[in-house]
Structure 1
Amino acid sequence: MKKMLKVFLMLPIICLSGCWSSIELNELAIVTAMGIDKTEDGYLVSVQVLNSSELAGDARSGRTEVVTFRKSGVTIAEAIRSLSTDVPRRLYVAHLREIVFGEEMARAGIAKPLDVLSRQKELRSDFYMTVAKGSTAYDTLNVQTALEKIPANKVFDSLENSERRWAPTRTVTLDELVSSIVSKGRQAMLTGIYVYGDPESGSKVTNAQNISPKSGLRLDYLGVFKKDKLVGWLNRNDSKGVSYITDHVKSTAVNIPCEGEQITVNTTSSKTKIKGEVKNGNPKIDINVTSEGSLGEVECTIDLTKPEKIEELNKRYAKDIKDKIEGSIKTLQEKYQSDIFGFGEEIHRTDPKAWKRLEGNWDQEFANLDVIVTVTAKIRNLGTISESFQKEIEE
């Protein structure tokens, strides 16, 4: 009987402990994107919040699906807290898809913002980090996008799709970014994003309703960091070269010159192996790339039925990839002295003793590093026709 009484008395406590700290969904403001900009005396934090009433059900009032709020503060935490004066609900960041740093913020250093973000218990690790190229983070969060109702989802999906099918861009998570910044053998990189067209018209609901939007968000190429500071931008070819070296090319297009025209090879697979060693006290890196592709477009009148022509194309295919890789290495060594490839980590793995001597001056060692590039590339598929009908038309 006493045991039954104890259980009966404990039931209210058990029930209360399960729900005393619960928060109803209608009390939350779900944040999909966050922007961090540098100001003269602190930071400007922008958040893109879902307008749930416009996303639920079929009825529409004509209001936007997302709303952007911004506040300044001496610290980031203060700016986030002060957003409560505009947002009537508690900010909930567990569904965050994107964080954007303004370019000025990125060049000043992102260590403090990363420290704040890393301390947040609600944050998951499946969102991506980007830099607003030539503009502020707020500008990028203030644009309505077509196809996707939620702009943050548009950027998130574009990053994944571009990395998978194009190669000059990169998805980078919070954990990956922090790991690169604290590593002594690898520097960080982030994809750039910018607003094309008229930023003012991009904030209007009608922008997403046009068949040809006057403004929108577009991914750029890779931004190069030294420690936590952005030092510059790579062009398309150098960004692709970085992706080849770091084994992040899943699919892309390679243009090969042919009789004054172009042949496009669609790369279907690519594998990179990097080997580091130290000889006579000097570090050395060997890069071996193996790529395969299929013909996507033939503008010239080459006879693809001849094996020697295919072999010639294979050599040009390999040369294009090698040129991009060597070009990116030259840019990073001579212009930025920033090892975003992780060559230092490879030397550390293969010769830890030598790395202890090299790591203190790795920027200079990297700038003079001997890198040997070997590329093997083959066209495995000619498409559904072996000879272009353009030849018959020209005859």
Structure 2
Amino acid sequence: MRKMIRVTLLLILLLSITTGCWNRQELNQLSFVMALGIDKHDNQIELSAQVANVGEIGMGSSSERGTSVTNFHVVSPTLYEALRKMTSHAPRELYLSHLRMLVISEELAREGVRDVLDFFMRNEQMRPDYFVAIAKDVQAKEILSTLTPTEKIPANKLYSSLKTSQNLWAPTIAVHVDEFVANLVALGKEPVLTGLKSNGELAVLRKDNKLKMTDAPVGLVFTQLGVFRGDRLVGWLNEQESKGYNYISGNVKSTVGDVLLPDGGEASIHILRTKSKVTAAMKEGKPVFTVKLQVEGDIGEVEGSIDLTKSESIYLLEQVMEKKLKEGLQVAVSKAQKLEADIFGFGEILHRSDPGSWKQMKSDWPSYFVKSEVIVQVDAKLRRTGKVSSSFIEELKKKTKE
């Protein structure tokens, strides 16, 4: 009996060891896809893949070395077929688990992205931790063909830039593919995606020797938010409207805002903390939403004669700050209503607070959203003025007048 138990335990141990690598793939047999770009090409799609050249990544700087990535492009009726077709161009099997960025062209986004996203959600090889962005005023393949001066793999640069920008700059937001799809299918909410564009002539940075310049002649920047209604891109929020959206949605972690002073000067405020709350109610058969925004910040820079040692000066700055923030939130709501896209999820909030009213409105929510009243309340507090309470600039002005 003991012998049988030992044999059984030994077999179990052997099975646990031998089955762990049945689907093992050697690194030298794989091409790691870091970014994918999707464009329209007549009635088909053009798929672009940015593949890491593993042998080049670890090499030191050299005028003879190649680029750290290679791009492949194929045209096909479907994404699934395009990916298989691309294996005739790539030297190894394409491996998608390390994907960092998915860039969709504006043209394709305006026609609808559901078929594209269906492929990405079904693919078992892909992890949902990559970001999605819209190529604004440029093709997605052009974005992938642009080298970056501070990162060997452009896709990694785009990923880290968007992640950092989301935390430090209010107009942008980093959206994973599963988050986008969740908002896409949610009742009472529409999704947004950050736009990606060039700030110059893209062809300039395609040659690796340009990366040796201290001032990069061109680059890729995340800018504005694309608004979707259903699976179609219907418009863009400008910088102020994008900020307003992120404030209402509670996405702002830290950012900087400028306010005009009564004397014509200007102050820069470092926003440190924000808290947003939206409530819903019905008034005479019409939805009414109240947005309450609390903001805390420090004074980062002052160009003017305001005396920050006086409490009334701080109060004045807070009032000016509240007014500007309120305007930003209001224009964001107005733009969303103009596009008939409830990107704030007001419908979801109404559903939770008044299920009966939502049941009557959900089938035609966009038209109710457009007619909804939105009340904005902002409470801004300034905590610190920096190391100095008054700027030396005023003393310098007095000196030059004497």
TM-score when normalising by structure 2: 0.94
Q: Could you report, residue by residue, the CA deviation over 1:248-297 in whole angstroms, capped at 9, with x for unpaired residues?
A: 11111111111122111111111101111223422111100000111111
Residue deviations 1:218-258, cap 9 Å, x none? Answer: 11110111111111111110000001100111111111111
Map 1:128-207 to 2 at 5 A: 128-207=131-210
Q: What amino acid sits opposite 2:373 in the alignment?
A: D
| Higher alpha-carbon deviation: 206-215 or 295-304 | 206-215
Structure 1 residues 8 and 110: CA distance shift in structure 2, 3 A: same
Q: Which residue does 2:122 correspond to in 1?
A: 119
Return the match for 1:272 from 270, 273, 276: 276
- Residues 22-77 of structure 1: per-residue CA shift (max 9 Å, x gap): 11111111111111111212111111111000113558651011111111111111
Determine whether 1:292 maps to 2:296: yes
Q: Which residue of 2 aligns with 1:88?
A: 91
Give runs of aligned pairs for residues 10-159 of structure 1, distance below 5 A.
17-56=19-58, 58=60, 62-159=65-162
- RMSD over aligned CA atoms reads 1.9
5 Å-filtered alignment, 1:204-243, equals 204-243=207-246
Alignment-mate amino acid for residue 322 of structure 1: K
Distance 2:250 2:149 in 1: 32
Cα distance change on mapping 1:112 and 1:309 into 2, 3 Å:
same
Specify whether residues 59 and 148 from structure 1 end up closer, same or farther in structure 2 by C-alpha distance, changes over 3 A only.
Answer: closer
2:210/2:216 contact within 8 Å kept: yes
SS at match of 2:137: coil
What is the identity, as a one-letter code, of the residue corresponding to 1:234?
L
Structure 1 residue 330 and structure 2 residue 320: aligned?
A: no
Equivalent residues of 1:144, 1:207 under 8 A apart: no
Q: Residue 367 of structure 2 corresponds to which residue in structure 1?
A: 364
Q: 1:334-349 alignment to 2 at 5 Å? A: 334=338, 336-349=339-352
Letter of the aligned partner of 1:44 in structure 2? E
1:19 deviates by 3.4
Unaligned runs of 5+ in 2: none
Instruction: Output the amino acid matched with 2:360.
Output: R
Corresponding residue to 1:376 among 376, 379, 401: 379
Once residues 36 and 257 of structure 2 are traced to their aligned partners in structure 1, the CA distance between those partners, rounded to angstroms, is 35
Runs of at least 5 residues in structure 1 that lack an aligned partner in the other structure: none
SS at match of 2:396: helix
The answer as to whether partners of 1:192 and 1:219 remain within 8 angstroms in 2 is yes
The question of whether the paired residues in 1 share the 8 Å contact of 2:286 and 2:371 is answered with no
Shift of 1:113: 0.5
Mapped partners of 2:5, 2:264: distance in 1: 92
Shift of 1:4: 7.4
Deviation at 1:21, TM superposition (A): 2.6
Using the aligned pairs only, state the percent identity: 37
Corresponding residue SS for 2:225: strand
Count of residue correspondences: 394
